[in-house]
């Protein structure tokens, strides 16, 4: 039986992830020469922009044979500005290799990625790269993996002559008594049955049994085998390949079962044709199949592509375990299920915390810019394209300034559009201060809509999102009218009392009413006496904003957790700088002649922290920052300009909206 392994290569930027991908392809015989990131000749960095900048921007899939398996290897971005691209990949993996630099060790992005892998239970091997570089570490790096990542590492190879061009890895796995004892201790900590057997008779726990438990615990993401090497020289990569083959579990799934998969990437060809990359967990998809896409979509598959022997080929079908390229699914979006929704947890990374306005250099390009940005938002939904028709402005959500530069280059190179960006600002959110309720009734004075809508809004636990429920009978109105209300609720909550998105609330429909379809004696439809979905879409924002006003909201700003490593004599000046940035540091921890300092800092101050730390520490300071949560704003409460018809101003709103639903 042919088996598949969908493998992710993940790392902090510059740890050597793409170089390792190249070396694995070379070792497998897929390529004749190892590509260079610096020279822009790697197999997976196919975009011109990736080759020029030397970083991975889009995830790429390439396959190779490893024993009896076909490995679909997914190279992911390492720069934190492209964390959304990584997010979409994690849910489709059977296993992962986390690349760590032997010189820099555990870095900010390393910690974020490993936490995500642990939450999802993805079996993970660690490859410590760059052992041939000056400053490479071995023993204390294993301690860092244990202490800073919370991993359960076990070194699978012994390092000889580390840190230099003559660095070597033993070509055979560690089998010495010290290794067996260390591995046995690690395994028995997580396996009571093995521990009991070992206590009864040490000889009963032989090498074969230890090897079996190593495979089992790695497959359950309980322990993390560590391999050392150099992707540049190829040292240790063969040993890693053996670990991938024997320790990571193959894809599961019944090819004859019901179709179930997830779309994790969207591409558009030069002619605008859409291709959806999907991981298939169950069933088989064939050309000309009509399949369910997302919550209510459907599409007919016009072509199927699969990955084999380092390349891509067209086929008649793709079965469970594979990654497939599907054409014809025009309604497909990133994150959509195809067929049945796959089981299991879903990973959600921190939201973008920055926003910028995109302005075309030529006013005549405004329409083309909107089309191009909509295309980019289809490939990366988290850039959050936001259109302000009142001021004719387009804005995007961002993770960082590098992402802004990449978007600008993409617009210029792929769409022929020159743009400029306004200064980035921080994205806040609103949360409810209490509960509120409002209602308006059909034919009542002041209600121009043929609809009755009542809504109650209540706070919900942080992180739960927005839920819509019915407090009226489902049969009291046509389903299309309930759908119109629910969709309008979600659209309206994108802009709260201060213009920010309202998070974590439960909205309940408490009143519902409509006028049934009216016809004249000769059978013509009288729209002026019949409710339509437009009536409910028009009235819902007014009711919801009235309820929101009664509940009240609080504006919260994004907060990042920081970690600083700095020389001891810089502690005083750094603490003073943190105070000015509204940071809240914890007690510093001494380590020799240096300090480690952790704490919280507003996202608005992160860039300033990164800029000011080097001169205060003579360039010796290092900073890691990652999104933590949202906290109430201190000082002046920021407001965001509205882009809707403003249901907070009833007169303005009705002037803008009634004409759209009237025609009566």
DSSP string, 190-254: T-HHHHHHHHH-GGGS-HHHHHHHHHHHHHTTS-EEEEE--TTT-TTHHHHHHHHHHHSPPPP--
How confident is the model at residue 544, as a pLDDT?
98
Residue 388 pLDDT:
82
Q: Is 542 or 116 the better-scoring residue by pLDDT?
A: 542
Domain 354-427 - what CATH class? alpha beta
Contact 183, 214 (CB under 8 A): yes
Say if residue 169's pLDDT is above 70: no
**pLDDT for res 659:** 61
Reported confidence tier of residue 273, pLDDT bands at 50, 70, 90: confident
Asked whether 510 and 439 are in contact (CB, 8 A), the reply is yes
What is d(CA 44, CA 51) in angstroms, rounded to the nearest whole number?
10
Select 557-632's CATH number: 3.30.70.240, 3.40.50.1100, 3.40.50.1240, 3.10.180.10.
3.30.70.240
pLDDT of residue 525: 52
Q: Quote the pLDDT of residue 235.
A: 87
Q: Which residue has the tokens 């994690």?
A: 90
pLDDT given for residue 42 in this prediction: 54
Closest by CA position to 512, among listed 551, 485, 491, 541: 485
CA 21/CA 129 separation, integer angstroms: 12
Element (H, E) at 543: helix 533-551
Residues 6 or more apart whose Cβ sits within 8 Å of residue 173: 156, 157, 239, 242
Q: Write down the pLDDT at residue 522.
A: 53
**Residue 651 scores a pLDDT above 50:** yes
pLDDT digits (tens, 9 = 90+) for 348-389: 667 788 899 999 999 999 999 999 898 888 777 667 788 887
List the single range of 48-52, 457-461, 589-593 with lowest mean pLDDT.
48-52
Domain 3-170+224-247 superfamily per CATH = P-loop containing nucleotide triphosphate hydrolases (3.40.50.300)
CA 166 → CA 11, 14, 104, 140, 235, distances in Å? 25, 22, 20, 21, 10
| Confidence bin at 122 (pLDDT 50/70/90) | very high
Whether 591 contacts 624, CB under 8 Å: no
Q: Give the residue extent of every domain in the chain.
A: 3-170+224-247, 260-339, 354-427, 430-551+643-661, 557-632
Highest mean pLDDT among 116-125, 405-414, 524-533: 116-125
Query: What is d(CA 647, CA 653) in angstroms, rounded to the nearest whole number?
Result: 5
What's residue 432's pLDDT? 97
Q: For the chain, how long is the longest CA-to-CA vector? A: 96
Tell me the mean pLDDT in the region 59-85.
74
Long-range contacts of 144-151 (CB under 8 A, 24+ apart): 144/105, 144/106, 145/100, 145/106, 145/224, 145/226, 148/106, 148/111, 149/106, 149/110, 149/111, 149/114, 150/114, 150/118, 151/114, 151/126, 151/224
pLDDT for 656 equals: 87
Q: Is the pLDDT of residue 444 over 70?
A: yes
Residue 211 has pLDDT above 60, yes or no: yes
Of the segments 157-171, 199-213, 337-351, 525-539, which one has the largest average pLDDT value?
525-539
Q: Judging by beta carbons within 10 Å of its beta carbon (0-12, 13-18, 19+), is residue 475 exposed, middle or buried?
A: exposed
Distance CA 25, CA 156 (A): 22
pLDDT of residue 137: 83
Each residue's pLDDT tens digit, 652-662: 999 988 765 54
Among 410-419, 492-501, 533-542, the range scoring the smallest mean pLDDT is 410-419
pLDDT band for position 554 (cuts 50, 70, 90) = very high
Provide the pLDDT for residue 347: 53
pLDDT of amino acid 57: 47
The pLDDT-based confidence of 259 (bands split at 50, 70, 90) is very high
Residue 154 pLDDT greater than 90, yes or no:
yes
Enumerate residues 6+ apart whose C-beta is below 8 A from 190. Answer: 152, 217, 222, 223
Coil/strand/helix, residue 142: helix
What per-residue confidence (pLDDT) applies to 202?
A: 66
How many angstroms separate the CA atoms of 344 and 323, rounded?
18
Burial 93-124 (b: 16+ CB within 10 A, else e): bbbbbbbbbbbbbbbbbbbbbbebbeebebbb
Higher pLDDT, 120 or 491: 491
Left, alpha or beta for 655 (phi > 0: left; psi -120 to 50: alpha)? alpha
Rounded Cα–Cα distance for residues 263 and 333 (Å): 7
What pLDDT sits at residue 47?
A: 44
* Both structure tokens of 599: 């704490």
Enclosing H/E stretch for 179: helix 177-188
- Grade residue 106 by pLDDT with cuts at 50, 70 and 90: confident
As a whole number of angstroms, the distance between CA 514 and CA 193 comes to: 65
What is residue 51's predicted lDDT score, i.e. its pLDDT? Answer: 44
Among residues of the chain, what percentage have pLDDT more than 70? Answer: 88
Distance CA 283, CA 260 (A): 6
Percent of the chain with pLDDT over 90: 44
Q: How many angstroms separate the CA atoms of 544 and 25, rounded?
A: 56
Q: Over the chain, what is the mean pLDDT?
A: 85
| Mean pLDDT (whole number) for 397-410 | 81
pLDDT at 2: 66
Residue 168 confidence (pLDDT): 65
The reply to whether domains 260-339 and 557-632 share a CATH topology is no
Distance CA 131, CA 235 (A): 9
Residue 203 has pLDDT above 80, yes or no: no
Q: Is the pLDDT of residue 80 over 80?
A: no
Which CATH number is associated with domain 430-551+643-661? 3.30.230.10
pLDDT at 536 over 60: yes
In angstroms, the CA 288 to CA 300 distance is 6
pLDDT at 50 over 90: no
Task: Using pLDDT thresholds of 50, 70 and 90, give the confidence band for residue 663.
Answer: very low
CB atoms under 10 Å from CB of 236, counted, come to: 26
Under the banding of pLDDT at 50, 70 and 90, the label for residue 7 is very high
Q: What is the mean pLDDT of residues 291-312?
A: 86
* Superfamily designation of domain 260-339: Translation factors (2.40.30.10)
- Tell me the sheet residues that pair with 506: 458, 467
450 with 531: CB under 8 angstroms? yes
> For residues 423 and 558, what is the distance between their CA atoms, to the nearest angstrom?
18
């Amino acid at each position: 039986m042919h088996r598949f392994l969908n493998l992710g290569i993940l790392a902090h930027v510059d740890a050597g992830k793409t170089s390792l991908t190249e070396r694995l392809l070379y070792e497998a015989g897929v390529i004749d020469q190892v590509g260079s990131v610096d020279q822009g000749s790697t197999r997976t960095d196919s975009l011109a922009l990736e080759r020029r900048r030397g970083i991975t921007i889009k995830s790429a899939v390439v396959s190779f044979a490893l024993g009896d398996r076909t490995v679909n290897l997914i190279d992911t971005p390492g720069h934190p500005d492209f964390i959304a691209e990584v997010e979409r990949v994690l849910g489709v993996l059977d296993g992962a290799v986390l690349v760590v630099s032997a010189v820099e060790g555990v870095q900010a992005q390393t910690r974020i990625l490993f936490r995500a892998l642990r939450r999802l239970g993805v079996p993970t091997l660690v490859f410590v790269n760059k052992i041939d570089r000056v400053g490479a570490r071995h023993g204390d790096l294993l301690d860092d993996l244990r202490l800073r990542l919370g991993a359960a590492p076990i070194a699978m190879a012994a390092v000889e002559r580390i840190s230099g061009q003559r660095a070597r890895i033993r070509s055979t796995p560690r089998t010495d008594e010290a290794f067996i004892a260390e591995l046995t201790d690690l395994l028995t900590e997580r396996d009571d049955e093995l521990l009991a057997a070992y206590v009864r008779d040490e000889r009963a726990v032989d090498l074969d049994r230890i090897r079996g438990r190593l495979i089992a615990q790695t497959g359950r993401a309980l322990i993390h085998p560590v391999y050392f090497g150099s992707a540049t020289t190829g040292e240790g990569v063969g040993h890693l390949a053996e670990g991938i083959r024997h320790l990571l579990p193959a894809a599961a799934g019944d090819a004859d079962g019901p179709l179930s998969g997830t779309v994790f990437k969207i591409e558009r060809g030069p002619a605008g044709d859409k291709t959806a990359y999907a991981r298939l967990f169950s069933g088989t998809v064939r050309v000309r199949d009509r399949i369910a896409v997302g919550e209510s979509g459907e599409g007919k598959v016009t072509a199927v592509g699969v990955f084999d022997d380092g390349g891509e080929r067209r086929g008649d079908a793709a079965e469970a375990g594979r990654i497939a390229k599907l054409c014809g699914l025009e309604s497909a979006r990133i994150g959509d299920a195809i067929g049945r929704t796959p089981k299991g947890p879903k990973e959600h990374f921190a939201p973008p915390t920055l926003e910028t306005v995109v302005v075309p250099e030529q006013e005549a390009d405004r329409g083309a810019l909107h089309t191009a940005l909509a295309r980019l938002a289809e490939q990366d939904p988290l850039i959050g394209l936001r259109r302000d028709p009142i001021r004719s402005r387009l804005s995007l959500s961002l993770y960082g300034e590098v992402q802004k530069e990449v978007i600008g280059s993409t617009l210029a190179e792929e769409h022929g559009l020159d743009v400029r960006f306004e200064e980035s600002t921080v994205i806040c959110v609103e949360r409810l201060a209490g509960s509120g309720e409002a209602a308006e009734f059909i034919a009542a004075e002041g209600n121009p809509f043929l609809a009755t809508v009542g809504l109650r809004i209540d706070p919900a636990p942080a992180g739960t999102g927005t839920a819509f429920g019915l407090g009226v009978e489902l049969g009291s109105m046509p389903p299309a009218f309930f759908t119109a209300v629910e969709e309008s609720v979600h659209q309206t909550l994108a802009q709260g009392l201060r213009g920010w998105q309202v998070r974590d609330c439960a909205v309940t429909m408490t009143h519902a009413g409509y006028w049934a379809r009216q016809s004249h004696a000769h059978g013509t439809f009288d729209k002026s006496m019949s409710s339509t979905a437009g009536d409910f879409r028009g009235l819902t924002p007014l009711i919801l904003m009235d309820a929101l006003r009664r509940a009240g909201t609080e504006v919260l700003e994004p907060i990042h957790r920081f970690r600083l490593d700095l020389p001891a004599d810089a502690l005083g000046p750094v603490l003073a700088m943190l105070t000015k940035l509204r940071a809240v540091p914890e007690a510093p921890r001494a380590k020799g002649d240096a300090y480690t300092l952790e704490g919280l800092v507003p996202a608005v101050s992160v860039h300033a922290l990164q800029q000011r730390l080097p001169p205060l520490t003579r360039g010796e300071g290092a900073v890691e920052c990652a999104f933590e949560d949202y906290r109430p704003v201190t000082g002046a409460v920021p407001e965001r300009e509205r882009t809707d018809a403003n249901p907070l101003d009833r007169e303005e709103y009705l002037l803008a909206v009634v004409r759209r639903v009237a025609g009566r």
